[in-house]
Amino acid sequence: MKQNLTILFIFIYSFCIAQNKLGAIGSWRGHFDNHSVRAIAKGDFIYAATPYQIAKIDAKGVLNWLDKTTGLSDIDITNISWDNDQHQLIVTYRNSNIDIIKGDQVFNINAIQLSSLYADKKINAVYVLQKNAFIATNFGIVTVDLNKHEIKNTWFPNNNQQPIAVYDITIAHDSVYASTENGIWGSPYVLNGSQPTQWSRILTLDPFNVLKFVQKNNTVYGYTTSSIYQLPNSTPLLQISNTTINRIDSAANILLLNVHYTSGKGAIIQLNKDNTTTLLIDSLHLNAPMQAILDNNNYWIADSSAGLLFKNNNTNAYQWTNLGGTNAALYGGMSIDEEALLAPFKKSQGYALFNESGWKNYTQIGNSNLSFFNASTINTIDKSYWLSTDNNIIHISNNNSKAESIQPNTIIGAYKEIHSDQNNGIWAIQDQQGIVRQSNSNWSSIPIPNNLSKTGLDKFIINNQQQAWIIAPNNQGIYIYQSKDVYPTEIWKQLTVGQSNGNLPSMHVTSIANDRSGSIWIGTDNGIGIFNCEDISNTPCNAYLPIVKNNGFNGYLFQKETVQCITVDGANRKWIGTNNGAWLLSEDGLNIIEHFSKSNSPLTSDTILQIIIAPKSGEVFFNTNNGMVSYRGTATEAVNTQKNIQIFPNPVPPSYNGYVAFRGLVENAIVKITDLNGKLLYQTNALGGQAIWNTRTTEGKKVATGIYLVFVRDLSGNEKGVGKIVIADGY
């Protein structure tokens, strides 16, 4: 399958600077952890592969990214190889999918991935020769025609045509060699890549478990994690101890050993002609080198725990290439405002910040190391950051220059989710205890009643009535704490299943959100319930269970589905994260507007852990159990007073097929587009603070090239002209 590839440019501090810019409505971009580089290749560019992306570096140091949001078919990249004859890059993935990148196009070969012939289809290695790629798999050798981008045939290096695990393949002196689960086999090689007719086993190397090959000057070497052999000799050229050989690369007629020491560090070692070794790059610079290439007398090294290292041999200078992205995977509770997205690592120290300048990572403030943060919130007044840990709460100034450690409660219990309320107070849930709250710079502790389960407290929200809605631990439904800020009675209440007890669809509550009309949406492992409760001290509080029609049958909303997260956009529509992708629902939840999965979108997993929306741009961030991507949605938050209306793109460039957006609107504003004579062509309502137009009339006809007028009516009924749109390429 052939598809177009759009290349996104990113800034790297060590080289030239570019940006992974926010695109048009409906566009995607990736936000990945790029600290691990698995493989590199030298072609028309330097290519460096992380699990999620491929960095493409030109001779001037300009870096751009190839990933699923720009056309790649998959994630979890395992190998990249350059085809010098056809000038294309072969990419293999852990699930046995294959992409071939040629220019701005991606050709996908998914036959191995989809095949049901073999239980284990893992791809172990790729060898490129002339017009063929030879793919070593756990069932045999698959040959790929690199001109036609299709599979030709399958070889079984054992003479009985039975599947066999092949760990590596190489071709030299008109012979093909295959390292298999049953030793090393060789056969004469026919130039057109047709099936070898007879394989013979190289018995001399059987005792040594040689699994990988490397070539130098058309001589084949086999190696283990500690020894190197020249085929077919059984006497090792080199044996090393207390060191693991990760890989051996051939570069400019020398062999480069990527090694890992028992101390946890790594190095690059050169094997000399007399079989002695020279240390090229020591363990002061490397942790886990996986592959090394030589480019114009400079070294590039892929390190699986530290990134991409560049060594200039002329100056002997070392430089880690900033590949952008986050230092670690994002597992903590994220928060966002008009300026930045705040993302705790949770399983690593520190946090990351994202804005239109890119990602910045913080592991220290001043000279102090940061903690492992569970969740975060941003103060709407001073833009400072509040982050929770297992021991305390950290308050960080918005310029990241000062960190204050706060202990709201002397009783032990990890602080989990944390939120700001409408009065800029701070609330946090404390496991095994209850709630801690800051108001007017004073902290107070609000313990959970002894009759309620306390161990496992994690998630909650604060609504406009200053009620804390808490996901109860151990499948105990919902706890509500009502303060005396709005209603006169302070009270705790538990909601469970049953029409008189809360009417939850399930006791196993998984997510919770407060929408713009004040309704509380509860996600469970059996769908969604919606609450509209006031003073819980004297009125019942029971969920409404929406009923939707699906394939002619009525059923509860997301019945039998686990709702991992719920987020409300600027138009009060609901984004729902499940184990089957992300769904955009209408305000009442009864209509599906979008459904994204990893098969129909750049989502990297169908398990959605958190959805968070940028209020100003409407960008929707989907954090999954396998990386994060974002999608520019159609709704933004409305403004209180309509002043400056932004129109983009304007002018509309030739061949543009996306939406024109009008941003900075009050809620439910009416937008009209007319021609210069005042004839109404199109009218729409704002989605929150943004309206969109597909450059077509109400009848669906594309407008002609020309200039068009925009009028906006606000909530008071005042209508005024706010701008002109230039269509550069109409009918």
Average pLDDT over residues 288-309: 94
Instruction: State the CATH class of domain 332-445.
Output: mainly beta
| pLDDT score at 260 | 94
Which DSSP string do the residues of 55-75 spell out, in sequence order? EEE-TT--EEEESGGGT-S-S
Neighbouring residues of 45: CB distance < 8 A, sequence distance ≥ 6? 56, 57, 58
Two tokens, residue 453: 């389960």
Cα 358 to Cα 12, 22, 613: the distances in Å are 10, 10, 17
Write out pLDDT tens, residues 47-103. 999 999 999 999 888 889 999 999 999 999 999 999 999 999 999 999 999 999 999
Asked if the 646-727 domain carries CATH number 3.40.50.150, the reply is no
β-bridge mates for residue 289, sequence order:
303
CA distances (Å), origin 95, targets 349, 484, 617: 31, 55, 35
Cβ atoms 301, 269 nearer than 8 A: no
The 10 Å Cβ neighbour count of residue 497 is 16
| pLDDT at position 18 over 70 | no
CA–CA dist 136, 78 (Å, integer): 13
CATH H superfamily, domain 74-239: YVTN repeat-like/Quinoprotein amine dehydrogenase (2.130.10.10)
Question: Domain map of the chain by residue range?
Answer: 74-239, 332-445, 646-727
Q: Which among 605, 524, 513 is positioned nearest to 563, based on CA atoms?
A: 524
Which secondary-structure segment (H or E) carries 113?
helix 111-114
CB 469 within 8 A of CB 495: no
pLDDT tens profile 538-573: 999 999 999 987 766 678 999 999 999 999 999 999
Element (H, E) at 712: strand 706-713
Say yes or no to pLDDT of 10 above 70.
no
Q: What is the pLDDT of residues 452-475, one digit of tens each?
A: 999 999 999 999 999 999 999 999
Contact by Cβ (8 Å): 146, 103: no
Q: Reduced to 3 states, what is the DSSP secondary structure of residue 438?
A: strand
Q: Which residues have CB under 8 Å from 83's CB, separation 6+?
A: 43, 89, 90, 100, 128, 133, 146
Determine the Cα–Cα distance for residues 685 and 671; give it in Å rounded to an integer: 6
pLDDT confidence of 717, banded at 50, 70, 90? confident
Angle CA 318–319–324, to nearest 5: 165
Distance CA 470, CA 512 (A): 8
Give yes or no for a contact between 72 and 106, defined as CB atoms under 8 angstroms apart. yes
Q: Look at residue 7 and tell me whether its pLDDT is greater than 50.
A: no
Model pLDDT, residue 11:
31
Average of pLDDT values for 324-346? 95
- The residue among 120, 99, 101 whose CA lies nearest residue 167 is 120
At 593-648, the pLDDT tens digits run 999 999 999 999 999 999 999 999 999 999 999 999 999 999 999 998 888 899 99
Q: For residues 666, 667, 673 and 676, what is the CA-based torsion angle, rounded to 10 degrees?
A: -20
Lowest-confidence pick of 188-197, 311-320, 398-407:
188-197
Q: Are 96 and 113 in contact (CB under 8 A)?
A: yes
CA angle (345 as vertex; 342, 347 as ends), nearest 5: 160
Tell me how far CA of residue 562 lies from CA of 121, 281, 412, 686, in angstroms. Answer: 31, 50, 32, 31
What confidence category does residue 191 fall into, taking pLDDT thresholds of 50, 70 and 90? low
Could you report the per-residue pLDDT of 395-442, keeping only the tens digit for each?
999 888 899 999 999 899 999 999 999 888 999 999 999 999 998 889
**Residue 192 confidence class, pLDDT cut points 50, 70, 90:** low
The 10s digit of each residue's pLDDT in 641-672 is 888 899 999 999 988 889 999 999 999 899 99
